[in-house]
């Protein structure tokens, strides 16, 4: 039985005070036995947020991680640093990184490996653009993005990772994949993995991301192969984020 995971991605939003207030409001809405909830916070506020969520069910995540271990890489943040700052998770290959900052399948695989080497669980984001979907390339894009990591790290590495299927056309656009569209891709991913390693396929958490909100979360999260959500916009409001968490 896979544990559901609801993960917020705060992106480049908020001040220190706003980040602290958001973290406090999330914590205040949880009960002692809750689990499977995390927030991916801007690097500079990781420690501020950690001091609020420490000893609560909320896990800390970063939004990216360097593809190198250490050294002369000005402006980069290593997996060792993230571990040191209390991160459990790091997003790798978010479509905004791939689109605006030149992250490639190769660099995403290197980020994935760096995170795992330091015991930070990578959340591998994959997904097709609208153009690729319209050209019937969804599955080939998924294969290419996933195989880049499997080639670099081995399929077993996915036992200590999370996959997030995020159709690019649904991120921040208000357009959500229907539950059936999302399930189709999640099932495709799981069945593909099962051909290589049945245990990994059965146990890996596959999150859906793309305009998930309280109104559509219940239906998406009820699908067999959707194990949780990666939530951008709606995670900036504690009430919406908690409402999505409760529907899981
Ligand atoms: C995301 O940033 O991963 C995301 C899914 O954003 P949004 O929920 O705003 O579409």
DSSP β-bridge partners for residue 207: 164
- Calculate ∠ Cα 214-57-207, nearest 5°: 45
Residue 172 has a pLDDT of: 86
Tell me the pLDDT tens digit for each residue of 117-139.
999 999 999 999 999 999 999 99
Query: Which ligand 1 atom is the nearest neighbour of the CA of 211?
Result: 10
Q: What is the dihedral of CA 84, 36, 212, 99, to 10 degrees?
A: 30
Q: Where are the domains of the chain?
A: 5-247
Residue 216 has a pLDDT of: 96
| C-beta 212 within 6 A of ligand 1 | yes
Pick the CATH number of 5-247 from 3.20.20.70, 2.40.50.100, 3.40.50.300, 3.10.20.740: 3.20.20.70
Task: Kindly report the number of other CB atoms within 10 A of residue 125's CB atom.
Answer: 27
For residue 18, CA distances in Å to 10, 22, 42, 48 come to: 11, 6, 12, 11
CA–CA separation, 185 and 183 (whole Å): 5
- Mutational test site, ligand 1, from 166, 214, 245, max ligand atoms within 8 Å of CB: 166
Residue 14 has a pLDDT of: 98
| C-beta 171 within 6 A of ligand 1 | yes
Looking up tokens 């015991």 gives: 119
Residue 124 has a pLDDT of: 99
Give every residue of the chain whose pLDDT is below 70, as ranges: none
């Amino acid at each position: 039985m896979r544990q559901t995971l609801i993960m917020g991605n705060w992106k480049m939003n908020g001040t220190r005070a706003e980040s602290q207030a958001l973290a406090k409001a999330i914590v205040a809405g949880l009960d002692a036995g809750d689990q499977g909830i995390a927030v991916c916070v801007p690097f500079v506020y990781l420690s501020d947020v950690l001091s609020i969520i420490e000893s609560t069910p909320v896990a800390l995540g970063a939004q990216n991680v360097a593809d190198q271990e250490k050294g002369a890489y000005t402006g980069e943040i290593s997996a060792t640093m993230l571990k040191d700052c209390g991160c459990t998770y790091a997003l790798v290959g978010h479509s905004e990184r791939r689109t605006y900052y030149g992250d490639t399948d190769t660099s995403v695989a290197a980020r994935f490996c760096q995170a795992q080497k330091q015991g930070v669980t990578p959340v591998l984001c994959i997904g097709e653009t609208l153009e690729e979907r319209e050209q019937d390339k969804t599955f080939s894009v998924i294969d290419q993005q996933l195989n880049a990591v499997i080639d670099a790290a081995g399929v077993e590495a996915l036992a200590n990772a999370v996959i997030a299927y995020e159709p690019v056309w649904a991120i921040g656009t208000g357009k959500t994949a229907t539950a059936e569209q999302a399930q189709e891709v999640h099932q495709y991913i799981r069945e593909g993995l099962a051909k290589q390693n049945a245990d990994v396929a059965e146990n890996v958490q596959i999150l859906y991301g793309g305009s998930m909100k309280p109104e559509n979360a219940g239906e998406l999260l009820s699908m067999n192969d959707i194990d949780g959500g990666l939530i951008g916009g709606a995670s900036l409001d504690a009430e919406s984020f908690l409402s999505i968490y409760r529907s899981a």
